[in-house]
């Protein structure tokens, strides 16, 4: 069982919780995810199954899109609504212009300090494990890119936003830092991830929908030709498919300009990601199907 599927993660569940649930639904141990989503957050969580777990390396730098709500008036130790307040709440009313004047500082390439309750490692230990033990957590600013950050509406002490960010960006830190700039404290009250790379929320299934689909025998996986759309596709004949699967180089005359390609056998069996060695000669960087199977041609 090899494939990628998209789950609409519910609030309160960790990404690992979802992976465990999927293992039980599919009766498959080899399951992973393409980027952790905080327990509080909902939305797009792409999961890779079987040999396709090896595709995770191509999504390490995946762009992400979010919608969410920032609440002003107090900060929390986790930078979100699940944490404890770090100062007494203040009654505050902000207008859209005030919030927008601060938001402009969070567009483009910026320096950002990750939250203390995060997966960032300090001497090999995730920061959140130290924070939970009330040990000192010192994280240094890192460079991140916020490609889009739009305040779509606001009322009193809340602002609703849309964002498109590069990998490694924490929207919790954006909320916290906006509160610091306004001098009133703030935290991320709600967050929904609407896209990861090519995977979007309108294609996602809830865990309940997934379980029902699997029980009825419906295909729940993203069609392999939709994966990694930045890479061109090539369909191998029997001889070239056998060479690719055995790790031998292959000539793909029609792809002389491509650096990497997705190699298919038939219309829907993704068997490898191949890298150009020289000219039209390609060698498998990643073999996803080592044995030939029967595929409708």
- DSSP symbol at 50: G
Measured distance between the N- and C-terminal CA atoms of the chain, rounded to whole angstroms:
20
**What stretches of the chain show up as alpha helix (H) in DSSP?**
15-26, 96-103, 127-132, 171-182, 207-215, 238-245
Three-class SS state of 144 = strand
The pair of three-digit structure tokens given for residue 266, joined into one six-digit string: 């038939």
- Among 232, 196, 222, smallest CA distance to 15 is for 196
- Measure Cα distances from 4 to 71, 166, 233 in Å: 35, 21, 17
Give me 11's structure tokens.
């609030």
CB atoms within 10 A of CB 4: 26
The Cα–Cα gap between 273 and 119 comes to 30
Q: Which residue has the tokens 């916290």?
A: 176
Here the tokens at position 230 are 């930045």
Q: CA nearest 121: which of 142, 106, 103, 107?
A: 142
φ, ψ for residue 113, nearest 5 deg? -95, 125
255 DSSP 8-state letter: G
Closest CA to 169 of 136, 141, 192: 141
Q: Which residues are catalytic?
A: 38
């Amino acid at each position: 069982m090899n494939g990628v599927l998209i789950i609409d993660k519910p609030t309160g569940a960790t990404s690992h919780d979802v992976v465990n649930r999927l293992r039980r639904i599919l009766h498959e141990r080899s399951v992973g995810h393409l980027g952790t989503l905080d327990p509080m957050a909902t939305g797009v969580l792409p999961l890779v199954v079987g040999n396709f777990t090896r595709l995770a390396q191509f999504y390490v730098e995946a762009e992400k899109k979010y919608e969410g709500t920032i609440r002003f008036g107090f900060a929390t130790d986790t930078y979100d609504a699940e944490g404890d307040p770090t100062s007494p709440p203040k009654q505050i009313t902000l207008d859209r212009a005030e919030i927008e004047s601060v938001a402009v500082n969070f567009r483009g390439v910026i320096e950002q300090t990750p939250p203390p309750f995060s997966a960032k490692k300090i001497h090999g230990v995730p920061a959140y494990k130290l924070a939970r033990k009330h040990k000192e957590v010192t994280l240094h600013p890192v460079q991140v890119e916020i490609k889009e950050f739009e305040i779509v509406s606001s009322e009193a002490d809340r602002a609703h936003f849309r964002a498109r960010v590069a990998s490694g960006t924490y929207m919790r830190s954006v909320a916290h830092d906006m509160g610091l700039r306004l001098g009133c404290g703030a935290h991320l009250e709600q967050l929904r991830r609407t896209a990861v790379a090519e995977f979007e929320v309108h294609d996602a299934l809830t865990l309940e929908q997934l379980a029902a689909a699997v029980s009825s025998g419906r295909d729940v996986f993203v069609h392999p030709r939709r994966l990694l759309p930045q890479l061109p596709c090539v369909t191998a004949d029997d001889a070239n498919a056998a060479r690719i699967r055995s790790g031998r180089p292959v000539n793909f005359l029609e792809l002389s300009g491509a650096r990497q390609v997705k190699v298919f056998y038939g219309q829907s069996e993704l068997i490898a990601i191949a890298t150009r060695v020289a000219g039209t000669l390609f060698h498998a960087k990643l073999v996803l199907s080592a044995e030939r199977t029967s595929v409708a041609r």
